[in-house]
Amino acid sequence: MKSSLKKILNPLIRWWSEEISVLPTKIKWGLLICLLAGASIVKVGEEIFSKVMISWEGHQVQEVVTSKEQRIAVTAAALEKRDISQVFNVFGHIKPLKEIQISSDDGMSVSHVFVKWGQKVKKGEPLFQVDSRIHQLRTKLQNMEGQIRQQELEVISSLAEKEIISKNEFKQKKQELESSKIRNQITKLESKAGKIISPIDGVIAEIKMKVGDYVDDPQKFYIKVVDLSELRFETWVPLDIASRINFGDSVDFEWKRTAARLGEEEQAEIETGVVDGVSPMIDAQSGTVMVTVSLKDLFNNWKSGIYVKAAFPLEKKQSALAIKNSSLIYDKGQAYAYRIIASEQESFAQAEKVPVKLGISDGEYSEVMEGLSQSEKVVDKGVGTVTPDMPIEVIKN
């Protein structure tokens, strides 16, 4: 503003000093008043023009900004045909094929332990030894009890022949004698000179006893042997899921191995097992059914006890019309998607909220039964911020 006034006034001042100084005083003052009035008009006009331009430019900027703010940036995903496999995921621990706790009868003292933790043992190999004197006395007592029951049986047999006692009483005494004989046989098989042997081939997983311990509780004092020749997975599933699982189905297992170094990501390993059992019984309390899976070839790589995710296959559809699960929103149990309706401008569009009927899902994609057609595009990233018929700007991933 100042520079423009200088451009106007400087020539006038030179002209005044050179040409006007010879004129009469009244004329000089008249010309001066006219010049000042003209300068004032120029100044006011420039200010008005400047305000008008600023207001107009601000209106344009505000209009553009408002237009931009109303458009939500989203990405688009096209519906496509793909194979979808529906699975039922459960989590649990891998178990050994067999797991047996071996202890001794109450009232025996441990005189020797023959095995160490992690040691491999064969069936029949001694695990520990109890006090032989106690064992001998227990065996003698069991023999005496067997003889007494044998004598009782002979007396009762004669009474039964004379019909003094019922046949049921005779039968009961005979069963008691047979039970006594079986207990004697078990004692002889389990222990030779007081040695307790392993009933299976396996590995020593736990040793909960030491020399000198007095075994008064078999649940407290024991040696655990596990058979790792085959790993297993056991789980309980709802009845409707169990009815869709078949003997021989392949089951994918995922184990996330802990990172070896700080900052490294967990490494996921995938292995496959085979369903080898679906229980015909339903648990009365939970209403679920036990399903077992064999993992025969994993014992060298995976260990018993690791925590895994098991994916049981339920149904598979080929070339199904699929939508990404990330493109779906739900309202009162109904699935919706925002269909993209293109405008004249390539990147600008509108979002139309449409209900979608879904079929099976594999966790990443879902089958579209009704509501959308192939090659239609829907809002993917940003779907949670969109409202019906909202202007959107589609950007590239």
pLDDT in tens, 220-272: 999 999 998 888 999 999 999 999 999 999 999 998 877 556 666 667 888 89
Q: Where are the beta strands (DSSP E) in 220-363?
A: 223-238, 250-257, 267-278, 288-295, 307-324, 329-331, 334-342, 348-361
pLDDT at 65: 38
Residue 185 buriedness (CB in 10 A; 0-12 / 13-18 / 19+): exposed
pLDDT at 217: 86
- Tell me the CATH number at 303: 2.40.30.170
- Please give the tally of structural domains in the chain: 4
Which neighbouring-strand residues pair with 236?
290
Q: Are residues 107 and 215 in the same domain?
A: yes
Q: Are residues 187 and 112 in the same domain?
A: yes
pLDDT at 208: 94
How far apart are alpha carbons 149 and 209 in whole angstroms? 35
Q: Which residue has the tokens 């004329």?
A: 27
Residue after which a domain boundary falls, among 314, 347, 373: 314
Positions of the chain with pLDDT under 50: 1-2, 49-69
Q: Are residues 63 and 137 in the same domain?
A: no
Q: How many angstroms separate the first and last alpha carbons of the chain?
A: 50
Q: Are residues 62 and 126 in the same domain?
A: no
Q: Are residues 65 and 76 in the same domain?
A: no
Contact 288, 265 (CB under 8 A): no
* pTM: predicted TM-score of the whole model, two decimal places: 0.53
Secondary structure tally for the chain: helices H, strands E: 5, 22
- Tell me the CATH number at 389: 2.40.420.20
Domain that includes residue 28, residue range? 2-70
pLDDT at 186: 63
Instruction: Compute the radius of gyration of the chain from its Cα atoms.
Output: 46
Q: Are residues 174 and 157 in the same domain?
A: yes
Q: Are residues 206 and 110 in the same domain?
A: yes
| Closest residue by Cα to residue 176 from 148, 210, 202 | 148
H-helix segments, 162-248: 167-190, 239-242
Q: Are residues 187 and 201 in the same domain?
A: yes
* 3-state class (DSSP) for residue 264: coil
Written as one letter, the residue type at 118 is G
Q: Are residues 298 and 345 in the same domain?
A: no
Contact 325, 77 (CB under 8 A): no
pLDDT at 67: 46
Q: Are residues 188 and 247 in the same domain?
A: no
pLDDT at 218: 85
- Tell me the CATH number at 191: 2.40.50.100
HSE of 124, CA atoms in CB hemisphere, 13 A: 1
* 195, two tokens: 């040695």
pLDDT at 201: 92
pLDDT at 308: 92
Q: Are residues 210 and 283 in the same domain?
A: no
Q: Are residues 170 and 150 in the same domain?
A: yes
Of all helices (H) and strands (E), which one includes residue 13?
helix 2-18
* 123, two tokens: 């069936």
Q: Using alpha carbons, list the distances in angstroms from residue 235 to 250, 288, 312.
A: 15, 9, 11
Residue after which a domain boundary falls, among 284, 314, 344: 314
Q: Using alpha carbons, list the distances in angstroms from residue 133 to 104, 137, 208.
A: 14, 6, 23
Residue after which a domain boundary falls, among 183, 208, 225: 225
